[in-house]
Amino acid sequence: MNITEVYQREVSYGTTISENTTTSTGGFQSPFSPAMDKAINGLTIIILFITMISLGCTMEIAKIKAHVLRPKGVGIALVSQFGIMPLTAFSLAKVFQLGAIEAVTVLICGCCPGGNLSNIFALALQGDMNLSIVMTTCSTVTALGAMPFLLFLYCQGFSGLENAVPYAGIIIALIMTLVPCAIGIAINHWAPRYSPLIIKVGISILLIASAAIGVMAGITIGGTVWVVLSPKLMAVASLMPLIGYLLGYILSTVFKQNGQCKRTIAVETGCQNIQLCSTILKVAFRPEDIGPLYLFPLIYIIFQGGEALLFIIIFRWYQRCKPTTEEAEKSIYLAVDKLEEAKVP
């Protein structure tokens, strides 16, 4: 599915990597044979398809309707998802002075909708699961129009990127997420007994296949992987989800959401659909254009998951200490009451 003929030569991977790097790659040549490259593309699409079906199996039409009728939480989440994250990606690309293709990679990641990992994190943080699932659904649907628009808008801030994004490929990838998601919703509505099995199979296939592709790509690409592990991209990958989590929580606090909604909106804001991002980078771009940067989502998901895990540990620790604190306060109050009773003649 090579649809990057419109991609400008000045942003080809071999031109420049960053302002601080003078070494040119001379044009990245894919280490995979054409047959292997097509096989990986097909496998990536299949993984995305299965993952989105399993995500759809977690959604219930009645709960979606309930939140749509009370859209305040969903509205805040959408503003966070498509307001905070794309702006964060754009700002970090500017601050770290990323090269053209690096900036496109980061912007695509920042403009992606929420992923199904956020549902797992929301569950671990005792968030509002109905809101989490509805937010993931709404952001996926909204992304069909919002993602191409935001990429077009933010690419205007980089010289030479105005016509560099393969919008047709991105729209196709987005449709590929909506169709299986709708299939999953239909299965959960008409045959809910199969949903738990599909969810387990989907998550298992996602983890195994993602690890296999990552290891295979890392071994095959070899030395050029240092581009993805450059200090600038590592800093961007670590800061993007962290900023998303924090600003999502702050924004929901400003709009006076309860604790469950705050935690849910925070993880939904910081968590991106990495499967979609990987599919776009691997399928919509030619190997010589994107180079090893299609591995950037793997770096991002490590920080995204690690930072979320840190927040979960802190929250669980707080939850464990909170009852102890309350019991101690009750003991103090009881002691004071007994002391006052003893003073009364």
Q: Which residues pair with 108 in a beta bridge?
A: none
Whose tokens are 């989490």? That residue is 132
Can you state the angle between helices 296-343 and 117-124, rounded to 10 degrees? 20
CB distance 162 to 30 below 8 Å: no
What are the DSSP calls for 80-128, one per residue? IIIIIHHHHHHHHHHHTTB-HHHHHHHHHHHHS---THHHHHHHHTT--
Q: Interior CA angle at 255 toward 252 and 256, to 5°?
A: 90
Of the CA atoms within 13 Å of residue 175, those in its CB half-sphere come to 6
Least confident window among 61-75, 187-201, 324-338: 324-338
Q: What's the pLDDT score for residue 18?
A: 39
Task: Please check the confidence at residue 86 and state whether its pLDDT lies above 80.
Answer: yes
CB distance 305 to 117 below 8 Å: yes
Q: What's the pLDDT score for residue 239?
A: 95
Both tokens of residue 129?
A: 């699961």
Task: Please check the confidence at residue 89 and state whether its pLDDT lies above 60.
Answer: yes
Which domains are assigned to the chain?
Answer: 34-343 (1.20.1530.20)
Q: What's the pLDDT score for residue 14?
A: 43
Least confident window among 29-33, 46-50, 117-121, 289-293: 29-33
> How far from each other are the two terminal CA atoms of the chain, in whole angstroms?
91
For 97-148, write each residue's pLDDT tens digit: 988 888 999 999 999 988 777 877 887 888 887 788 778 778 888 888 899 9
Q: What's the pLDDT score for residue 50?
A: 84
Taking the C-alpha atoms of residue 100 and residue 164, their distance in angstroms, rounded to an integer, is: 9
Taking the C-alpha atoms of residue 51 and residue 43, their distance in angstroms, rounded to an integer, is: 12
CB distance 86 to 150 below 8 Å: yes
Q: What is the DSSP letter of 165?
A: S
Question: What sign does the CA torsion over 242, 243, 244, 246 have?
Answer: positive
Q: What's the pLDDT score for residue 235?
A: 93
CB distance 110 to 261 below 8 Å: no
